[in-house]
Chain A
Amino acid sequence: MSIGFIVFTLLAIVGAMGMITSRNPVYSVLYMILSLFSLAGLFLTLQAQFLFIIQIIVYAGAIMILFLFVIMLLNLTRKDTVAIRFNASSVFAVVFAAVFFTQLLTAVSVFSKTSLDQNENYLYSTVESIGHALLTEYVLPFELISLILLVAIVAAIVIAKKYRGI
């Protein structure tokens, strides 16, 4: 068992639990950032350096800051920061998640338990190899992504804009 895997796994789970249970959305975002950072660490234990950096910059950096901006913009009241109530639907939620997790566990238990070879290098770890794959084999989806991002920018402005008279 490698130390990095265990530490990052525990931190990711603590972050996820903290995000679900904290009452204040700002604390939720901070726990989520912890969880995303430890997921980036798990990418690093898989030798995926490029995805590690992208995870930190795009997810922990950009997307989570966007969440923080929106939370601070919205001026949430006491009605929004409700704690988890224990009623029939929350019991259903816990049972559903537990059943779902056991199903996933039985599904993944068929995969190989042999350790990933540490001596064998992961071919797609560096920026160079990823960039080469992006601009040769995956060039069409790469171009389509730029279109999706453009549409998202326009859509966000159209949806969030205040219209007079509507």
Chain B
Amino acid sequence: MSVMHYLIVSSLLFSLGALGVLLRRNAIIVFMCVELMLNAANLAFVAFSRFHNDAAGAMMVFFVMCVAAAEAVVGLAIIIAMFRNKQTVNLSEFNLFKW
């Protein structure tokens, strides 16, 4: 398999994640789609790291995973706070900034 095949899979998964972010109205599923986009980027990093036999890509994936864990914790806490205010996580209900 060449590096291009992995990049195609990565871009397909990234586009699917972007599609999910735009299509779904459930905040938790939108958040999971963001995680999917992060993972697609990770796949591209690992493919390039293998292609160039370089440590930077693998290190980047490691740090992205750590930051993603931190980000998931804070994001889910925000979703819980949102649910406490409105008793729903449907994003159509959160229109405070809509004019």
Contact = CB atoms under 8 A, between A and B. Distances in A.
5 contacts: A20-B29, A67-B72, A84-B24, A104-B11, A108-B7
A130 B90 CA distance: 42
B15 A80 contact: no
A156 interface: yes
B2 A20 contact: no
A152 B73 contact: yes
A166 B20 CA distance: 34
Contact of B81 (A89, A111, A160): A160
Contacts, number: 230
Interface residues of A, number: 88
A48 B58 contact: yes
A122 to B, nearest CB: 5
A152 B67 CA distance: 9
Contact of A9 (B9, B11, B46): B9
Contact of A80 (B9, B76, B88): B88
Contacts of B54: 124
Contacts of A116: 1-3, 50-51
A82 B26 contact: yes
A48 B49 contact: yes
Interface in B61-88: 61-63, 65-74, 76-81, 83-84, 87-88
Contact of B50 (A47, A66, A109, A149): A47
